[in-house]
Amino acid sequence: MSGSAAPSSRVLLAIDGTQTGAPLSVDSSGRFSTHITLHEGENRLTATAENRAGPSTPSGVLTLHLDTSRPDAPSGLTAQAREEGQIQLSWNSSTDPRVESYDLYRATAPFNTPEQATRANSRPITEGRYTDLPTEDGHYYYRLLARNELQTASELSVAVDVPADSGHPQALSIDYTPSGAYDPISGRMASGTVAIALEVNEPLLTTPFLSIAPNGGLPIAIDLTASTRPTTVGASRSAPPPPRVTPMRSSRPVTGSATGVTRSSAALSSPLTPPVPK
């Protein structure tokens, strides 16, 4: 603390009426300063100047409050991957009446202190939710802390981790396996059941949509079901083969990014006349 008094005098400081520290010398410009130790709670400070003529009357009371307690750590932190690489986080609102805001911290590895992570929010968070958008795709760890009106920080919350994926799922292959007469060289087949297997580049949250559109015809919707491989779905379709087909697909991965409609040429070609037994 600092103050002013008559030059060349001394200043005595008191907390709650009890002198604290040694007398302070006042410089030629009439200024003095020092560091004092406060006790928890309310501190009532006064100053008295003295010289050879004796002490002055005490100054007015300066009241300072010391609160070294920390707010309760946030609880119930959850994270969910969303579209375009966004991460939706939410937590329980604090029941500590002193809590005014939250800070969210993110890292690519588990961490124990805020200094080991990056603060995700640029401004104090005043609600129990936040949407984060990491600059790069990857696997992220999040922890949260609360701040009171004095900006004292709580302990970090329990950590959660979640992948961030801004990319779209892609179809790696669409395989057709006819059960009837089939020419593997030309791709032509006769009427019969065709097993369809769609392989994508990542596990999906929902079953993708797939339709086969014959040239000049209406699209045929294919009901796909998940296989034992997390990146493969399949179906069987019994119908006369069209002259040529174009698959159309849309899907959503487990991290939430949805594709648009994807079109690609298929392996099915014009009908094959079944061989006549001799």
> For 199-217, what is the mean pLDDT?
74
Residue 254 included in any domain: yes
In this prediction, residues 267-271 reach a mean pLDDT of 39
Which of 38, 66, 94 delimits the end of a domain? 66
Region 146-156 average pLDDT: 93
- Residue 222 and residue 188 share a domain: yes
Contacts of 223 (CB under 8 A, 6+ apart): 235
pLDDT at 248: 55
Mean pLDDT of the chain: 81
Residue 275 lies in a domain: no
Confidence at residue 273, expressed as pLDDT on a 0 to 100 scale = 40
Co-location of 160 and 180 in the same domain: no
* End position of a domain, from candidates 149, 164, 179: 164
Of 17-21, 70-74, 263-267, least confident by mean pLDDT is 263-267
pLDDT > 90? residue 20? yes
The domain boundary, picked from 164, 189, 222, lies at 164
Return the top range by mean pLDDT from 9-18, 160-169, 204-213, 218-227.
9-18
User: Are both 226 and 180 inside the same structural domain?
Assistant: yes
Instruction: Give the confidence band of 231 by pLDDT, cuts at 50, 70, 90.
Output: low
141 vs 193, residue with greater confidence: 141
Task: Compute the average pLDDT of residues 250-271.
Answer: 47
- Average pLDDT rounded to a whole number, residues 54-74: 91
Q: Which of 6, 167, 16, 185 lies closest to 81, judged by CA?
A: 167
Q: Say which range, 49-53, 158-162, 192-196, 235-239, has the weakest mean pLDDT.
A: 235-239
Q: What CATH number is given to the structural domain containing 47?
A: 2.60.40
Specify the 3-state DSSP secondary structure of 65: strand
41: domain range?
Answer: 2-66
| pLDDT above 50 (res 38) | yes
Q: Residue 134 and residue 120: Cα distance in Å, rounded?
A: 8
Lowest mean pLDDT among 136-140, 183-187, 188-192, 233-237: 233-237
Mean pLDDT for 25-37 is 92
Number of independent structural domains in the chain: 3
Residue 60 lies in a domain: yes
Q: What is the pLDDT of residue 256?
A: 52
Q: Let me know if residue 268 belongs to a domain.
A: no
Query: CB within 8 A of 26, min separation 6: which ones?
Result: 4, 5, 6, 7, 8, 9, 10, 11, 32, 49
Residues 160 and 181 in one domain: no
> Does residue 271 lie within any of the structural domains?
no
Do 177 and 255 reside in the same domain of the chain? yes
Residues with Cβ within 8 Å of 6's Cβ and at least 6 positions away in sequence, in order, are 26, 30, 49, 51
State residue 269's pLDDT score.
39
